[in-house]
Chain A
């Protein structure tokens, strides 16, 4: 669409946009972290920080898939789920061997990424053969399958070693054992080792990865394949492997986000990562603007905070949330309003001053 023209004509604007995204994250981090350390941040806000960073990372990954690569993915929560349960299990297993929380968290996140990558590879092959809404429904289907499978895994350890069973819980642990994944009850008694700093570092890393990918040869190939598949193919771009790259990176970011998320709560159920969660992340992406990572970050922050600020509305909270969502979609797509808004925008004022 207009985006490809945009990106070639406004290279500088794009660069600035990127710098802005890093700046927003770093400044927000500095402010919030210092407030938290000095005890000035409310408990509510503190509790929102880590999940917010998780959703941002997952949404950046999804935006790579949906915005840059042009694939509608309705199963991002599935990758989060894989990452989350892998991360939580690894952390549970290593609780005694690696006593340092930070080291264990890093190991857990990396294993979450690896697990998500493996599943991304398995799923990506069939998914990327399809196009458009058919591709979308297959990602939805894989999301449901992953949820269904994870709901049926029983995995624990005791002094005798690891115990694993599927569908039926045949694991009977010796006293002192611990279930890492207990079917539909998921993981309980997890050590909460996630923290805001790690989340922010993950956001920065995912921005670096995504931006570098966009600038690389493969990134340009990905966008070419999105804008015109046939033209791209005829110039010799290997469509499937190109798209696979972005699908995998997206899955990995989902996995990383999941691991961080899972280790932020003492309990985690597989049902958390259902279709609704996939949709939630997709809403962040669409609202923030396809291909626009800064927008994704801001949209995620706004939409995570919105229901909290609507708490005083009591019963009407989610109703108002829905209305706001619809209005935002309608208003941001309204041509008249766009023209009018652009007059008052910060950027145009700045531009005018400079010129």
Chain B
């Protein structure tokens, strides 16, 4: 028995080693040829753009290689797949304009730092010149330093923790400088929520918080919200948590919030568990005001969700899929066509904006495909810290030197199954 294992396996290992080593040897040559990239969708997009006969002036057929990684498999796959689809869509669109051409390669990191580092290796071997960094925070924190070491410009659509852009996140110090964010940082949202609640005591005054304590995003917002709320004299009457292994039953957390007399339940979490919380609160007959952050966006478009349960829910969001401006309408339509009718969430919107902002910056800086990634990085850094960007997730968006985005989270309330802006 032992012998056989060894035989089968050693044959396999020999083959895979040979494959690996040969792949390594030729990494700079063969693997980086665009035609060999397995990204079918993007390639065909680039190909159609070229076939339409719009000559790419500066690039002369050459494309700028944009990398990126996110969870395409596993429990967080929904976020990665949204980013991938929206980024591919945006790349097709910018390529069709005929100017600077992009080529996207998006790898799976399974929401794991180890896999993100591996995915970074794949992208680097491929010859990535700029990047969407990672979709989620923890893997992002693991690769940011590598982007800095290799001088490759990166903008993360949704990696919102401070550790994505700062080498010393405890003190918000030592920014990597070439890793930017398209989404708000977590503390930023915590402060914005506390500010809003402090200014609008008419909604309620006793706050319960339910957050996901094994999640960077949720804990990040919670921590800042809590300290801000204390500083502003807001009354937090209950704090409950859940984690991956307890993400279904919220009867205890809701029951405790109810007994504590909370009239606001603050939910710095994503929309999927939030939908369970809303359903269970409804079953219990508990009707406080639910107050969410940008992760709550997507709740109205959950397949099968009874949107009447979300009536009166406040959330802070930079993006709303049912906004009526042309940009959003086009995006939503094209995204749905691409994703079997799925409606884009804020991850998708942020990713779309990332590609467009990269494109705007690259064109403005006169970036060409034959430039080294370090030169592109310098050029893009210069642009991002000086330009203003208008996208799906905000108007007049700017970035600081440290890579933090400045756009204002907008408070909206859900009325009749749609977002309605509330006045500040």
Contact = CB atoms under 8 A, between A and B. Distances in A.
B248 interface: no
A48 B163 CA distance: 23
Interface stretch (B3-11, B322-330, B352-360, B406-414): B3-11
A188 interface: yes
B125 interface: yes
Contacts, number: 172
A311 B122 contact: yes
Nearest to A176: B171
Contacts of B2: 3, 6, 289, 291-292, 295
A212 B349 CA distance: 58
A129 interface: no
Interface stretch (B49-57, B197-205, B212-220, B288-296): B212-220
A299 to B, nearest CB: 6
Contacts of B27: 42-43
Interface string A169-187: 1000101111100111110
A2 interface: yes
A149 interface: no
B5 to A, nearest CB: 4
Interface in B153-211: 161, 163, 167-171
A332 interface: yes
A199 B40 CA distance: 38
Interface string B335-372: 00000000000000000000000000000000000000
A342 B4 contact: yes
Contact of A184 (B113, B170, B214): B214
A315 B163 CA distance: 29
A348 B219 CA distance: 59
Contacts of A2: 1
Interface in A33-54: 35, 40-48, 51
A47 B16 contact: no
A299 B121 contact: no
A72 to B, nearest CB: 18
B58 to A, nearest CB: 28
Q: What secondary structure prevails in chain A residues at the interface with B?
A: helix
Nearest to A319: B73
A177 B170 contact: yes
Contacts of B272: none
B108 interface: yes
A338 interface: yes
A41 B170 contact: no
A184 B16 contact: no
Interface in A148-193: 151-152, 156, 169, 173, 175-179, 182-186, 188-189, 192
B256 interface: no
A164 B75 CA distance: 31
In the complex, which range does the number of interface residues on chain A fall in? 35 or more
Interface in A289-313: 289, 291-292, 294-295, 298-299, 301-302, 305-306, 308-309, 311-312
B24 A45 contact: yes
Given A183-B219, A185-B216, A265 B170 contact: no
Given A189-B168, A318-B73, A269 B216 contact: yes
B244 interface: yes
A46 B9 contact: no
A41 B24 contact: yes
Interface in A256-280: 265-272, 274
B107 interface: yes
A44 B121 contact: yes
A40 B38 contact: no
Interface in B95-131: 107-108, 112-114, 117-118, 120-122, 124-125
Contacts of B13: 298, 301-302
Interface stretch (B138-146, B304-312, B392-400): B138-146
In the complex, which range does the number of interface residues on chain B fall in? 35 or more
B285 interface: no
Contact of B216 (A48, A184, A289, A301): A184
A272 B24 contact: no
B12 interface: yes
Contacts of A298: 6, 9-10, 13
B8 A151 contact: no
A328 B219 contact: no
A299 B4 CA distance: 13
A243 to B, nearest CB: 23
B60 interface: no
B150 to A, nearest CB: 9
Nearest to A185: B216
Contacts of A186: 138
Interface of B: 1-10, 12-13, 16, 19-21, 23-25, 27, 38, 40, 72-73, 107-108, 112-114, 117-118, 120-122, 124-125, 138, 141-142, 144-145, 161, 163, 167-171, 213-216, 219-220, 223, 243-245
Given A42-B24, A291-B2, A314-B38, 10 more contacts: A42-B27, A151-B214, A179-B170, A188-B170, A189-B169, A268-B113, A272-B114, A274-B244, A294-B6, A298-B6
Report the 6 A-B pairs with minimum CB-CB distance, sorted nearest first: A44-B121, A267-B141, A43-B121, A47-B121, A42-B24, A43-B124
16 contacts: A6-B2, A42-B125, A43-B122, A43-B124, A45-B121, A47-B118, A47-B121, A156-B170, A189-B167, A265-B114, A274-B244, A289-B5, A302-B9, A314-B40, A332-B5, A341-B7
